[in-house]
Chains A and B, each alone.
Chain A
Amino acid sequence: MTEQVFDAALALLVMGVGAWSMMAGRITSAVIIFIVYGLLLSLVWVRIAAIDVALTEAAIGSGATGMLLIAAAYKTGRESGARETVSGSLHVIAVLLASSVALGLASLAFVLPGEPVSLAGDVLRSLPDSGLGNPVAGVLFVYRSFDTLLEKIVLLVALLGVWSLGSDRDWGGIPGLKPFAQKHSVLVLLARTLPPIGLTYAIYMTWVGADVPGGAFQGGTVLAAMWVLVMLAGVRQIPRLSSPALRAAIVAGPVVFLAIGFLGFVSPGQFLAYPQGFAKPLIVAMEIALTLSIGVILGLLSAGPSNGKDAR
């Protein structure tokens, strides 16, 4: 009973806050409400027994996306201020369209086929062969590792896309992120005290991801958050985008992933297959490299394209 009341309240809250973020007057408020929405949504994910997704939603869906959106809202949202919408009849049509989509999907809940299809049994049956304990990590790195590889490539392409939007002669310079370099501010204090804790936590998240919820993505996001904090506070200089160490960190994850993938041709005879008995150490090695790359890529995505300083 208590659980049902909690679920009902949570569902209402998520819908309400979601609607609020669509209706909010100022664009910056809308973004901040959206971040709150993301955090509430991760509670929903916990309630439907998807802890890995809850962590990803809180870290990426709410945190990292929110960070980009806030920066964009302050940069581009100023001149229009109030919420501008289409007028009159178009608005009515949009409401009708949106509510019919929502009602149509909602009604599907009552006509879904009675016997749910599940691959949970299959996943658990062959999970011990990989040495992993977390079934979601098993799916990500064993059964559907090709998806996971391509997902990292998508991140890489996104970063290239963001970089390409700077002008050609600025290529490889210092990103346009402006540090708030005020001495003795709280931000500087946080940027000096939090990173050791954050770093430890990121390593922990990555390490335990093989057996319990967590993993490279969640760990990498914590890493990125710490780095962005350091860059924003001006505690450390933002590196040049052409710096070889930076480029190496960006591609480390995909390169290790691909190398282990090609190793599969040698030992079990298939791309992205792991040699018997070595699955877990190889996966953990991949996750460590991926954590580094994800942290750096996410940090650079928020830092934006080069502003031309120190370009070459």
Chain B
Amino acid sequence: MSGPLLFWLAGSALIGLGVYGITVNRHPLRKLLALNLLGSGVFLLFGVIARRGAAAGLGGDPVPQALVITGIVVAFSATAIAIALLSQLQSKAGRTSLDDEPPDEEDRS
């Protein structure tokens, strides 16, 4: 099996793992971690497509590569906002759960 094919399979597995992590984990930070894993899997699929477009002496198509760089930065920005929201949730509500039921004790908002 060639390298790009292997990495395509790895990217698919990572997306699957990310979907699994987002759905089953209760803690929002773990969901966020899973979201990042999912994102990196998608980027990797993009990278393999770029690799398939190797031409004109370049190892890969630079257009999808540049798109992935932009994507990584946007994913980072989203993560930063999500983390800020999460720490705000904790300091306002005293918990980090996303469940509907109210916190055990009094409402601390």
Contact B7 A27 (CB under 8 A): no
Main secondary structure of the interface of B (DSSP, over half): helix
Nearest CB in chain A: distance from B57 CB, A: 7
| Tally of A-B Cβ pairs under 8 angstroms | 275
Q: Which residues of B contact A99 (CB under 8 A)?
A: 16, 20
CB contacts (< 8 Å) of B7 on chain A: these are 7, 11, 44, 47-48
CB distance from B102 to the nearest CB of A (A): 16
Q: Find residues 74-108 in chain B having any chain A CB closer than 8 Å to their own CB.
A: 74-81, 83-88, 90, 95-96
The tally of residues in B whose CB lies under 8 Å from a CB in A reads: 79
**B23 closest partner in A (C-beta):** A94
Q: Of the candidates A76, A98, A157, which one forms a contact with B90 in the assembled complex, judged by CB atoms under 8 Å apart?
A: A76
Residues of chain B lying within 8 A (CB to CB) of residue A90: 24
Please provide the chain A residues from 53 to 72 with a CB less than 8 Å away from any CB of chain B in the complex: 53, 56-57, 60-61, 64-65, 68-69, 71-72
Which of B16, B40, B74 is in CB contact (< 8 Å) with A101?
A: B16
CA distance A138 to B75 in the complex (A): 22
B12 contacts A102, C-beta separation under 8 Å? yes
Of B16, B47, B65, B81, which is within 8 A of A136 by CB? B65
Contact A53 B33, beta carbon cutoff 8 Å: no
Given contacts A18-B17, A48-B47, contact A123 B57 (CB under 8 A): no
List, in ascending order, chain B residues with CB within 8 A of A98's CB: 16-17, 19-20, 23
Contact B50 A61 (CB under 8 A): no
Of A31-39, A234-242, A261-269, the one contacting chain B is A31-39
B74 cross-chain contacts in A, Cβ below 8 A: 151, 154
With contacts A85-B25, A140-B69 known, is A69 near B79, CB below 8 A? yes
A65–B20 CB distance below 8 A? no
Query: Contact: A50 with B68, CB < 8 Å?
Result: yes
Contact A65 B79 (CB under 8 A): yes
Q: Is the CB of B30 within 8 A of A50?
A: no
Question: A121-B56, A161-B84 are known contacts. Are A15 and B63 too (CB-CB below 8 A)?
Answer: no
CB < 8 Å: which of B72, B79, B87 contacts A57? B72
**Distance in Å: Cβ of B99 to nearest Cβ of chain A:** 10
Distance in angstroms between the alpha carbons of A136 and B65 in the assembled complex: 7
Q: Which of A34, A50, A94, A155 has the most CB of B within 10 A?
A: A50
Quick one: which of B10, B50, B87 contacts A15, CB cutoff 8 A?
Answer: B10
Cβ contact within 8 Å between B10 and A14: yes
Contact pick for A60, options B37, B48, B51, B72, CB 8 Å = B72
**B81-A158 in contact (CB<8A):** yes
Report B52-78 residues with CB < 8 Å from chain A CB: 52-63, 65-70, 72-78
Per-position 1/0 for A125-151, Cβ under 8 A of B = 000000000011011100110011001
A102 to B20, CA, bound (A): 10
Binding site for B on A (CB under 8 A): 3-4, 7-8, 11-12, 14-15, 18-19, 21-22, 27, 30-31, 34, 37-38, 41, 44-45, 47-50, 52-53, 56-57, 60-61, 64-65, 68-69, 71-73, 75-77, 79-80, 83-86, 90-91, 94-95, 97-99, 101-106, 108-109, 112, 116-121, 123-124, 135-136, 138-140, 143-144, 147-148, 151, 154-155, 157-158, 161-162, 165, 217, 301, 304-305
List 14 extra interface pairs beyond A12-B10, A98-B23, CB under 8 A.
A27-B27, A48-B4, A48-B7, A50-B65, A53-B43, A60-B76, A69-B33, A101-B19, A105-B16, A119-B62, A123-B62, A138-B62, A147-B67, A165-B85
